[in-house]
Amino acid sequence: MSASTPGTSHPDLEALQALLDARQLLPLLPMIYVAWADGELHERELLELRERMTKMLGLSSEDQEVLASWLDPENPPGPVALRYLLRALHRDGGALATDERLSLAELGMRMALAAPPAEGSPANEELRTSLREIEKALGVVGTEATEQLRPEARDTSATLPARNLDFDPKKLGELLDAPHRATREMVRELLAGDQFEYTDGLPLKDYRELVVTWLKALADSGIGDRCVPDKRADGTRDMSEFLAIFETLGHFDLSLLVKFGVQFGLFGGSIMFMGTEHHHRTYLPRLASLELQGCYAMTEMGRGSNVRDLETTATYDPDSKSFIIHTPTETARKEWIGGAGTYATLATVYAQLIVEGVNHGVHALLVPIRDAKGQPMPGVRIEDQGLKMGLNGVDNGRIWFDQVRVPRENLLNRYGNVSEEGHYESPIPSPNKRFFTMLGTLVAGRLGVSAGGLSAAKSALTIATRYSDQRRQFGPAGAPEIPVLDYRMQQRALLPRIATAYALTFALRELTRRYNSVDPDRRQTEALAAGLKAYASNFALGATQAAREACGGQGYLWLNRIAAIRTDVDVFATFEGANVVMLQQVAKARIGEYAHELNDGNFFTMARVLTRQATRTLSETNPVVTRNTDTEHLDDADFQLDALSYRESDLVSGVARRIKSRIDKGMDSFEAFNDCQDHVIAVANANVERFVLECFIEAEKNTTDAALRRALSQLRKLFALSIIEKDMAWFLENGYVQGNKAAAIRDRVNTLCAELRPDAVAFVDAFQIPDTLLSAPIAFSEGKAPADAQVEHARGIARD
């Protein structure tokens, strides 16, 4: 060892020189450094260490003195002395200049061997044994302390792990695109056009103007005609294609998505579904081209979820053959009406229809709210709702009507009409059934919210996964920093959610298929649409939030897109039916298989239903199975589906019993329901999750490409087991799994996360979100990243 003193006259260095000159202490230098570097050895420990060193190495009295001065609790070495000691260790090329990982003892050993033997040194093997004993007393772990001593602690050129699975992301993408790949490709290409460019910090008015420009571009491309075809006599459209368009749009600005949904889904849909030929002919072509912008005026200030009790009235006046639309109280004002704030000229207005003095319940009418110049029509008052948490490109507004007249023909009269003679008539005698038919537009809207939320989540997950794959922070001692996606918690935050995004893609596709086809159980489909809306939007909120946090501060920056997605998507939990209300709806359907009559406080046929349910018995759980921790068993789709089905059945019969017992004791059914509301919501989640897993398993089975099937299989396992893990308290409480199995499932989720990690980027690439739509600089590896754009962006801000 070249134990020369550094070329400096710092006072600390005399002590260092003495140490370096003490030849017997040479093999101890690494340990002496480590003993101080951490600064946490207790006085007692230091003295003990000194004693051992002295005894074991049989130190001379001179060297004992030097050692004592270096391990003196009362008088620690100076910072410079320590720093130079480290430097002296670095200079010893012979010992540390190796890729081997050495213990401190071994490092000391090599330093001793490289230098001429000191007088009185013990023999080599004896020395080695002694050094090991001393190292043990110091309480350090393996070779890591030595790694800390290396001059270059960090190498950042480490390569990424090789992929585990052999699927082609493009092929997986095609599978996700089915059955409307061409349509999706068309929308993606359209959105890649120059005019679809993100913006930020625009004043409300300009942003809204821009969104309308985008909407017009979509209409000009012919998408509008596809969405509201005026030629279908039955007032339907291919919801499957409509949702494919909608889902793809969901990767771009969500204000555009919502405006699109209002114009073509809700406003256009209300005319298609509730209007008749006259309405179709008159309005659909003009709204498809955006010549006519409309809105969907259902919600009132006082009535969000409780649509049945809306207060706005539409009273028929036989003399003038017109309806008088009126807002009787302040709480009756229409609220949150997308498009009403600035642009819409025509509104589908939901109101209590009063004919011949009798209220026939909620119906929809077309009411002009603005003239060609954009001024409110006489009797109509409109207020912009101003700034929101997100979706600020959507012009939400409030509307008041003061005795506004519209002609008889403006009633959307497919399910309820007023005849020429001024009498009310309807093909649906039951007012309850008629009411739910009128709300049919909302069912499609709920599928749309699921699709949009899912796309938003996929965008955010893609950005976060790509960033986490590249971003490095910390690492093992002496090794390169590791990508943050190598951390267990980061994997747990992102990978089960990627799996869920796949699961929901298949579930949504299946539900859309049912909705689109002649469905023998329409009500179950509608209830599931409500349930999926709640589930998918909750997922979207959670996934975008996880993505935000996974990207740290970068996720908070507007430029990186996630913040915009997160704030825009937040209201998905609320609009088109508040999630708790939606979940109650699917639970009621599941409990009673009678979604509609159980809805909205109209519970009175429940006793019959409950009696049926309560008699249902569940098969006992098998103790061999509840303790089975084999990986093969845990991974098995049958086990996973059985777990979710068992939970659902048990929750349903349990809540039915509980509600029934309360009603039997004289509790009002509404109160009984509310007294079990947490249980009811659990039923809903269990129902939706079972359905989603079924769809995933089915999609997996139907995949013929082996590589793709293996990939889907891995995702399905992670999805199913993380659902079970999330609700483990239920499975344990009900004896479906024992403690050992619960632990095994948790471990399996961890292992699956680790197994999927090398393919994480491939899995999000299969979402096929165009780079221009992702846009976030952090979603691209360096070099590819539009760093200039970032600078340009910042300059733009600075100019403001």
- Interface with its own copies includes 596 (CB under 8 A)? yes
Q: Find the shortest distance in angstroms from Cβ 222 to its own copies.
A: 33
Q: Which of 155, 185, 739, 771 binds its own copies (CB under 8 A)?
A: 739
In the complex with its own copies, the residue whose CB is nearer, 101 or 226, is 101
- Laid out side by side, the sheet with 380-384 consists of 334-338, 396-401, 380-384
Q: Are 633 and 722 in contact (CB under 8 A)?
A: no
The span from the CA of 702 to the CA of 709, in Å, is 9
Q: Which is nearer to its own copies, 76 or 368 (CB)?
A: 76
Residue 388 Cβ, how far from its own copies at the closest point, in Å? 5
Could you give the 3-state DSSP secondary structure of residue 736? coil
- Contacts with its own copies by CB under 8 A: the residue count is 146
Sketch the per residue contact string, 696 through 735, with its own copies: x for CB under 8 A, - otherwise: --------------------------------xx--xxxx
Residue 552 CB, nearest approach to its own copies (Å): 5
Which residue stretch of 61-69, 177-185, 319-327, 590-598 sits at the interface with its own copies (rule: CB under 8 A)?
A: 590-598
Cβ partners under 8 Å of residue 229, min gap 6: 237, 284
Closer Cβ to its own copies, 605 or 615, answer by number: 605
Using CB under 8 A, pick the residue from 28, 292, 563, 569 that binds its own copies. 563
Q: Which is nearer to its own copies, 389 or 706 (CB)?
A: 389
Closest to its own copies by CB, 473 vs 702, is: 473
Min. distance of Cβ 695 from its own copies in angstroms? 26
Residues 289-308, interacting with its own copies (CB under 8 A) = 299, 303-306
Check: CB of residue 547 under 8 Å from CB of residue 555: yes
- Choose, by CB under 8 A, the member of 177, 469, 597, 650 that binds its own copies: 597
Stretch that binds its own copies, among 183-191, 495-503, 510-518, 565-573 (CB under 8 A): 565-573
Residues numbered 615-654 forming contacts with its own copies, rule: CB under 8 A: none
Estimate to the nearest angstrom the gap between the alpha carbon of 133 and the chain centroid: 53
Task: Give the total residue count for the chain.
Answer: 800
CA 223 to chain centre: 28
CB nearer to its own copies: pick between 455 and 567: 567
Among positions 98-117, residues that touch its own copies (CB under 8 A) are none
- Residue 286 — φ and ψ, nearest 5°? -75, -30
Q: Give the Cα separation of 652 and 665 in Å (integer).
A: 20
User: Which of 69, 375, 473, 781 is the binder for its own copies (CB under 8 A)?
Assistant: 473
Instruction: Kindly give, in sequence order, each residue whose CB lies less than 8 Å from that of residue 272, ignoring residues fewer than 6 positions away.
Output: 228, 232, 235, 236, 237, 280, 284
**CA torsion angle 741 746 751 757 (round to 10):** 150
In contact, 362 and 415? CB cutoff 8 Å: no
Which range in 147-155, 343-351, 446-454, 511-519 contacts its own copies by CB under 8 A? 147-155
Nearer to its own copies by Cβ, of 180 and 662: the residue is 662
φ, ψ at 546 (rounded to 5°):
-60, -40
Residue with smaller CB distance to its own copies, 237 or 398: 398
Q: Does 770 bind its own copies (CB under 8 A)?
A: no
Residue with smaller CB distance to its own copies, 50 or 303: 303
Taking CB under 8 A as the rule, which mask of x and - marks residues 371-390 in contact with its own copies? ------------xxxxxxxx
83 near its own copies, judged by CB under 8 A = yes
Q: Are 340 and 385 in contact (CB under 8 A)?
A: no
Three-state DSSP class for 699? helix
Q: What residues numbered 51-80 form the site for its own copies, per CB under 8 A?
A: 76-80
Residues 429-468 that bind its own copies (CB under 8 A): 429-434
CB-nearer residue toward its own copies: 82 or 697: 82
State the Cα–Cα distance between residues 347 and 297, nearest whole angstrom. Answer: 6
Distance CA(534)–CA(528), nearest Å, equals: 10
We find the least distance from the C-beta atom of residue 7 to its own copies, in angstroms, to be 9
Task: Using CB under 8 A, pick the residue from 1, 140, 485, 498 that binds its own copies.
Answer: 140
388-to-290, 565, 570, 571, 663 alpha-carbon distances in Å? 25, 14, 11, 10, 43
Please identify, using beta-carbon distances, which residue of 507 and 569 lies nearer to its own copies: 569
φ/ψ of residue 483, rounded to 5: -60, 145
Least distance from C-beta 245 to its own copies, angstroms? 26
Pick from 123, 141, 162, 372: which binds its own copies (CB under 8 A)? 141
Binding marks (x or -) toward its own copies, 329..358, rule CB under 8 A? ------xx-------------------x-x
C-alpha angle with apex 704: 698 to 705, nearest 5 degrees? 125
Name the phi and psi angles at 405, rounded to 5. Answer: -95, 135
Give the residue with the Cβ less far from its own copies, 82 or 223: 82
Q: Site residues for its own copies, window 149-208 (CB under 8 A)?
A: 153-154, 200-201, 203-205
CB of 232 vs its own copies, minimal distance in Å: 26
Q: By CB under 8 A, is residue 614 in contact with its own copies?
A: no
State the Cα–Cα distance between residues 154 and 163, nearest whole angstrom: 24
Between 167 and 719, name the residue whose CB sits nearer to its own copies: 719
Q: At 242, is the secondary structure helix, strand, or coil? A: helix
Contacts with its own copies in 228-267 (CB under 8 A)? none
* Residue selected from 314, 344, 681, 692 as contacting its own copies according to rule CB under 8 A: 681
Contact 162, 758 (CB under 8 A): yes
Subset of residues 480 to 519 that bind its own copies, contact rule: CB under 8 A: 481, 486-490, 492
| By the rule CB under 8 A, 526 interacts with its own copies | no
Three-state SS string over 244-285 comes to HHHHHHCCCCHHHHHHHHHHHHHHHHHHHHHCCHHHHHHHHH
757 interacts with its own copies by CB under 8 A:
no
Closer residue to its own copies (CB): 242 or 603: 603
290: left (phi over 0), alpha (psi -120 to 50) or beta: left
Of 558, 629, 698, 772, the residue at the interface with its own copies (CB under 8 A) is 558
Binding of its own copies by 594 (CB under 8 A): yes
797 is a site residue for its own copies (CB under 8 A): yes
Strands 380-384 and 424-425: unpaired
Positive/negative CA dihedral, 65, 68, 72, 76: positive
DSSP 8-state class, residue 6: P
Q: Does 474 bind its own copies (CB under 8 A)?
A: yes
CA atoms within 13 A on the CB side of 455: 28
The DSSP secondary-structure symbol of 479 reads S
> Is 395 within 8 Å of 413 (Cβ atoms)?
no
CB of 364 to its own copies, least distance (A): 16
Q: Which of 236, 605, 631, 702 binds its own copies (CB under 8 A)?
A: 605
In which residue are the tokens 């340990």 written?
Answer: 31
Q: How many CA atoms lie within 13 A of 484 on its CB side?
A: 18
For residue 593, the Cα-to-chain-centroid distance in whole angstroms is: 30
